[in-house]
């Protein structure tokens, strides 16, 4: 028996430009566009929901998903299913649904004492590659999933509702397809955690920040910003990062949370 537990609802919009995976709306800096006002919503053409764009720059929308209809747009999204050549016991294609009203719901699926959830991404990275069942040589891996969207530098944004249940971990990342392949992030890339929601239930905090060099002994990072989770009147939150050659600027509900600059990399 499978049970869909309380739902994580996300409405995804995105303004971005980065080498990324999970995104909702993306903007790229463009000279011919009118600058947005910091902390203010501006209409963005065919977006259903207005976005909060940083001031002092001019933007062009390059990617977005408003989750129209009743079926996930697989021309934009892949499912993460594998981990280092093996099917992950916690990833699934189940529990991901659109409600027909512009919302994506990602449900936690329970089967007996086991739990699963859908992980959506616009590309794939090294540890997503499945094994090749017909391998005859020394290399055990098959092929990466083709990227649906990869970009560099811009503003990436999600509008979402977060789960309230203790122990549930919701996140919105940008992730290099080759993180950890080289200790220097100029070559291997970074994981940019725009929003990590796993401390809200115990400490009342939300987390954002960057790390690089992989996830083992060579892993490094700036240290993550931990900021208070604050309720909004309608329950919706907006999390974003402005990524440029100078570094990363993190936002939550239109407020600048912190900066992690390229000059600080070491």
What does the pLDDT look like over 157-180, one tens digit per residue?
A: 999 998 877 778 889 999 888 877
What range defines the domain where residue 175 resides? 151-265
Same domain, 233 and 204: yes
Instruction: Report the SS3 class of residue 244.
Output: strand
In the chain, how many domains are there?
A: 2
Q: Which of 118, 149, 180 is the last residue of a domain?
A: 149
32-36: long-range pairs with CB below 8 Å, 24+: 32/58, 32/60, 33/58, 33/59, 33/60, 34/58, 35/59
Q: Phi, psi (5° rounding) for residue 262?
A: -60, -30
Distance (Å, rounded) from C-alpha 159 to C-alpha 48? 12
In tens, the pLDDT along 75-124 reads 999 999 998 888 988 899 999 999 898 899 998 888 888 888 999 999 88
Sign of CA dihedral 76, 162, 196, 215: negative
150-153: long-range pairs with CB below 8 Å, 24+: 150/19, 150/20, 150/122, 150/123, 150/177, 151/16, 151/17, 151/18, 151/19, 151/20, 151/26, 151/28, 151/62, 151/63, 152/17, 152/18, 152/19, 153/17, 153/18, 153/28, 153/29, 153/243, 153/244, 153/245
Same domain, 188 and 240: yes
Q: Which of 114, 149, 184 is the last residue of a domain?
A: 149
Most confident of 47-56, 213-222, 231-240: 231-240
Q: How many residues does the chain have?
A: 266
Written as six digits, the tokens of 226 are 């931990």
Same domain, 224 and 119: no
Distance (Å, rounded) from C-alpha 182 to C-alpha 52? 35
Residue 37 belongs to a domain? no
Find out whether 126 and 178 touch, Cβ atoms under 8 Å. yes
CATH number of the domain enclosing 190:
2.60.120.200
pLDDT reported for residue 259: 93
Give which of 175, 172, 147, 177 is closest to 162, Cα–Cα: 172
Distance (Å, rounded) from C-alpha 71 to C-alpha 88? 24
Q: Which alpha helices (DSSP H) does the chain contain, by range? A: 185-188, 200-203
Greater confidence (265 vs 133) lies with 133
Residue 39 belongs to a domain? no
Same domain, 216 and 248: yes
Residue 203 belongs to a domain? yes
Residue 231 belongs to a domain? yes
Distance (Å, rounded) from C-alpha 150 to C-alpha 145? 13
257: left (phi over 0), alpha (psi -120 to 50) or beta: alpha
Residue 142 pLDDT > 90: no
Q: Which of 92, 126, 149 is the last residue of a domain?
A: 149
Same domain, 168 and 136: no
pTM, 2 dp? 0.83
pLDDT-derived band at 48, boundaries 50, 70, 90: low
Instruction: Report the SS3 class of residue 136.
Output: coil
Rounded mean pLDDT of 64-82?
92
Same domain, 145 and 155: no
Same domain, 68 and 132: yes
Greater confidence (195 vs 21) lies with 195
Torsion of CA 55, 51, 22, 73, to 10 degrees: -150
Same domain, 139 and 166: no
Residue 43 belongs to a domain? no
Residue 24 belongs to a domain? no
Same domain, 168 and 135: no
Percent of the chain with pLDDT over 70: 82
Same domain, 119 and 155: no
Same domain, 176 and 115: no
Same domain, 156 and 100: no
Residue 12 belongs to a domain? no
């Amino acid at each position: 028996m499978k049970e869909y537990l309380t739902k994580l609802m996300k409405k995804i919009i995105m303004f971005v430009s980065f080498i990324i995976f999970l995104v909702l709306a993306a903007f790229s800096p463009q000279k011919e566009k009118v600058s947005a006002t910091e902390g203010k919503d501006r209409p963005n053409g065919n977006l259903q929901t207005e976005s909060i764009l940083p001031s002092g720059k001019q933007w062009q929308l390059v990617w977005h998903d408003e989750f129209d209809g009743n079926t996930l747009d697989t021309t934009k999204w892949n499912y993460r299913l594998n981990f280092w050549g093996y099917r992950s016991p916690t990833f699934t294609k189940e529990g991901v649904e659109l409600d027909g009203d512009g919302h994506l719901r990602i449900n936690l699926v329970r089967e007996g004492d086991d739990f699963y959830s859908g992980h959506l991404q616009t590309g794939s990275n090294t540890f997503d590659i499945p094994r090749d069942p017909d391998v005859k040589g020394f290399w055990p891996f098959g092929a990466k999933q083709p990227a649906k969207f990869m970009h560099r530098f811009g503003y990436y944004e999600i509008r979402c509702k977060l789960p309230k249940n203790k122990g549930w971990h919701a996140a919105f990342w940008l992730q290099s397809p080759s993180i950890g392949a080289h200790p220097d992030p100029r070559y291997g890339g970074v994981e940019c955690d725009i929003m990590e929601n796993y401390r809200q239930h115990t400490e009342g905090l939300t987390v954002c920040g960057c790390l690089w060099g992989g996830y083992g002994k060579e892993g490094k990072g700036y240290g993550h910003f931990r900021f208070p989770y604050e309720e909004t009147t309608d329950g919706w939150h907006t999390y974003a990062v402005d990524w440029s050659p100078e570094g990363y600027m993190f936002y939550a509900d239109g407020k600048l949370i912190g900066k992690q600059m390229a000059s600080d990399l070491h």
